[in-house]
Amino acid sequence: MDAFIQALGLVLDPYTLWVMVLAGGFGLFVGAMPGLTATMATALLVPVTFFMEPVPALAAIVTAAAMSIFSGDLPGALLRIPGTPASAAYVEDSYRLTRKGQAELVLGCSLVFSVVGGLFGAVVLAILAPWLAEFALKFSSFEYFWLALFGLSCAVFISTGNPVKGIVSVLLGLLLATVGIDPTAGHPRFTFGSVELMAGISLIPAMIGMFAIGEILRWITGPRSVGTIAQKTIGNIFSGQWRLFRRYPKNVARGSLIGTVVGVLPGAGADIAAWISYAVSKRFSKEPEKFGTGHIEGIVDAGTANNSSLGGAWVPALVFGIPGDSITAIVIGVLYMKGMNPGPMVMLDNPELLYAIFVTFFVANILLIPLGFSAIKLYRRILDVPREFLMPVILVFCIVGSFAINNSVWGIGIMLLMGVVAYLMEENGFPIAPTILGLVLGGMIEANFMTSMMKANGSIIGFFERPIAAGLGIVTLLVWAWVIFDAVRKSLRPAAAEA
Amino acid sequence: MRFNDLVFGAVLIAAALLLFLEAGTFPDMPGQDYGPALFPQIIAGGFALCGLSLVVAGVRRLARQKLIGLDPWARQGGHIFDIGLLIGGLVLLMWLWDAIGFLIGATVYATVLATRFRGGRLGTSLIVCFLACLVIDFAFRRLLLVPLPLGPLTGIVW
């Protein structure tokens, strides 16, 4: 109880609240700009959070992510361009509703159900994380190895249409994680005599590169035009929301649940939560034929799901140090940077930090109502900011951020290289989230693998001798069996078609 | 820029080979027949298998997809030049980082990019980019104490 009161004091501190309001405004702006994502908002915040205490730093990230996922709905409804990938699932419905003169209903629905989903995710996080942390204290290197590998497997399984490209993406991340001093024998690997490489590939510049520089490069080679707003003035957005809630209570509950579960699964974030939730909504709807023609039902489901996934994604990140999505992958980097190793020991060593994160989720989602309302009202002005100025300024910000992590130009080089790699990967159908997960989890997987190998005297059977490890191992192997089976099936399909 | 999977497959197989050879030079741990090479060699094995699969997929698609192709958007309006400008400019900025300092270097870099993106309008680009870089420099160097170099402006600014 003392820790909770301490956490409450930390979050409700005027400085933290100011940080949350500013981060919220920043998140709303980034999310509302087509082409800039919630992950990019988080990556851009890291250099600033580097200089903050842990609680305001994490509060800034939680708030910016929640705001940007919501505000991604604004260009979707008004311009037919999803602001973030998390809004893509229902962009057709929301835009068509706006064209029918119902922009208020759509935007109000996005805001209200984002808050509902976000609060649900926060409740699940607050209940599940401490319970799982107690359970996780019994884990040994065998369980951690399988759990981390399961996380990577899910990332491959969920995030891509082509499993082979997903596997390549994960392997690239794992390879990057091997650069530097080997964790068990202390031997330098792939350093080519460079002192900088001895410390490994710096996580934050790599993430800034992959999520921010990659997106800037995509903007440069993309169409660059934005289009015109479908409805100029927005009236009362809260009118009719209670009626929606009473009409679709099951959808709200289902969207919240699907979002949180998808969030908890490593590698899957708000975008996948929204797609799955929208598909499930259509499958069980009494009016499935109306989906895609300007129907609000799918927006209720998916709008709730994408925000509830944010809380869910923090569960594996905090309890096991395994990111639930690309945003929490960055959070883990921030926690390491602040000398706090995420895992069950956080609950024992820094319980106030864990409670502070729970409180932050609630405060951020409540803040979403006034800030989100303001963003809707100011949307035309947000869109007036010329991207031709914004992109070079974001680039300069990225440069300083990457430099600031180690006060070295080396970080800028890593950022640029990873940005180009991410751009080429995305252009060619390789997902980038598994690379980040591989980079974040690589050290953990290898260290636990090598420790387990030594404990088991090099015997693979040893990896299945403890019951939980065996269970996790079998589930992981089943996921891989499915991935390989799916890859073979897909590779045979064109041949069959050609024959 | 789109590559046929054959290109990626070939690159992955070559990378796997190099990785395997380089990892082979790592010593084993005392008393064990495995060591720092084990994990990279598992990764190399994965690269080789995925590379083979991509080569097969790429060969099948060779009739429909060239080895290297460009998006229709990327071909328009000198977008490839813009990418070259962004990457080349950043490499130059890194090279001159200490000599010209952050404020001058970043202002010039951002202004060149903004002017290019805005179709050659230099005046407002310069003003906006200078002010933005000034704010970033002040925030990071003065408030957050990041040692951004000032170059020739040392002792003159802030």
Contact A455, A141 (CB under 8 A): yes
pTM for the structure as a whole: 0.82
pLDDT value at residue A232: 67
**Mean pLDDT (chain B, rounded):** 89
CB < 8 Å to A189, chain B: 23, 26, 36, 40
Residue A494 has pLDDT above 60, yes or no: no
DSSP per-residue codes, chain B: -EE-HHHHHHHHHHHHHHHHHHHTTSPPPTTSS--TTHHHHHHHHHHHHHHHHHHHHHHHHTTTS-SEE--HHHHGGGHHHHHHHHHHHHHHHHHTHHHHHHHHHHHHHHHHHHHHHTTS-HHHHHHHHHHHHHHHHIIIIIIS------GGGTTT--
| Predicted confidence (pLDDT) per residue in A123-135, tens digit | 998 888 888 888 7
Residue A154 has pLDDT above 60, yes or no: yes
Say yes or no for a CB contact (<8 Å) between B29 and A185: yes
Q: Which two tokens stand for residue A4?
A: 């909770």
How does B122-143 read in b/e, with b if 16+ C-beta sit within 10 Å?
eeebbebbbebbeebbebbbee
Say yes or no for a CB contact (<8 Å) between A220 and B86: yes
CB < 8 Å to B14, chain A: none
pLDDT band at B46 (very low <50, low <70, confident <90, very high): very high
Lowest mean pLDDT segment, chosen from A77-91, A181-195, B1-15, B49-63 = A77-91
The answer to whether residue B24 neighbours chain A at the CB level (below 8 Å) is no
Q: Which two tokens stand for residue A335?
A: 């926690």
pLDDT value at residue B92: 97
| Predicted confidence (pLDDT) per residue in A222-273, tens digit | 777 666 666 667 778 888 889 888 999 999 999 999 999 888 877 677 888 8
The answer to whether residue A439 neighbours chain B at the CB level (below 8 Å) is no
What type of residue is B94? M
Q: Average pLDDT, stretch A448-470?
A: 88
SS3 A285: coil
DSSP per-residue codes, A24-66: HHHHHHHHHSTT--HHHHHHHHHHHHTTS-HHHHHHHHHHHHH
| Predicted confidence (pLDDT) per residue in A268-305, tens digit | 778 888 888 898 898 888 888 888 888 999 999 999 99
- B62 CB-near residues (< 8 Å, 6+ apart): B4, B6
Residue of A nearest to B4 (CA): A428
What type of residue is B109? Y
Say yes or no for a CB contact (<8 Å) between B36 and A189: yes
pLDDT band at A104 (very low <50, low <70, confident <90, very high): confident
Measuring CA to CA, which residue among A365, A280, A488 is closest to residue A67? A365
Which of the two residues, A364 and A346, has the higher pLDDT score? A364
Q: Please, which residues bridge with residue A181 across strands?
A: A188
CB < 8 Å to B99, chain A: none
Q: What is the DSSP letter of A248?
A: -
pLDDT value at residue A1: 67
Residue B157 has pLDDT above 80, yes or no: no
pLDDT band at A489 (very low <50, low <70, confident <90, very high): confident
In this structure, the strands spanning B2-3 and B68-69 are antiparallel
pLDDT value at residue A497: 47
Residue A160 has pLDDT above 70, yes or no: no
Distance CA(A455)–CA(A463), nearest Å, equals 10
DSSP per-residue codes, A144-177: HHHHHHHHHHHHHHHH-S-HHHHHHHHHHHHHHH
Distance CA(A174)–CA(B40), nearest Å, equals 9
Say yes or no for a CB contact (<8 Å) between B40 and A189: yes
Residue B22 has pLDDT above 70, yes or no: yes
pLDDT value at residue A253: 94
pLDDT band at B105 (very low <50, low <70, confident <90, very high): very high
Distance CA(A308)–CA(A301), nearest Å, equals 11
pLDDT value at residue B149: 92
pLDDT band at A496 (very low <50, low <70, confident <90, very high): very low
Distance CA(B141)–CA(B101), nearest Å, equals 12
Measuring CA to CA, which residue among A155, A494, A210, A425 is closest to residue B53? A494
Torsion of CA B50, B51, B53, B56, to 10 degrees: 170
Residues of chain A numbered 454-483 and touching chain B (CB < 8 Å): 454, 458
Residue of A nearest to B33 (CA): A458
pLDDT value at residue B124: 92
| Predicted confidence (pLDDT) per residue in B122-133, tens digit | 899 999 999 999
pLDDT band at A46 (very low <50, low <70, confident <90, very high): confident
pLDDT value at residue A305: 92
Distance CA(A96)–CA(A232), nearest Å, equals 15
SS3 A204: helix
Structural element, H or E, at residue A180:
strand A180-181
Q: Please, which residues bridge with residue A189 across strands?
A: A180
Measuring CA to CA, which residue among A432, A438, A436, A437 is closest to residue A218? A432
Distance CA(A377)–CA(A371), nearest Å, equals 10
pLDDT band at B19 (very low <50, low <70, confident <90, very high): very high
Cα A142 to the chain's mean position, in Å? 27
- The angle, 0 to 180 degrees and rounded to 10, between the axes of the packed helices A387-406 and A38-49 is 40
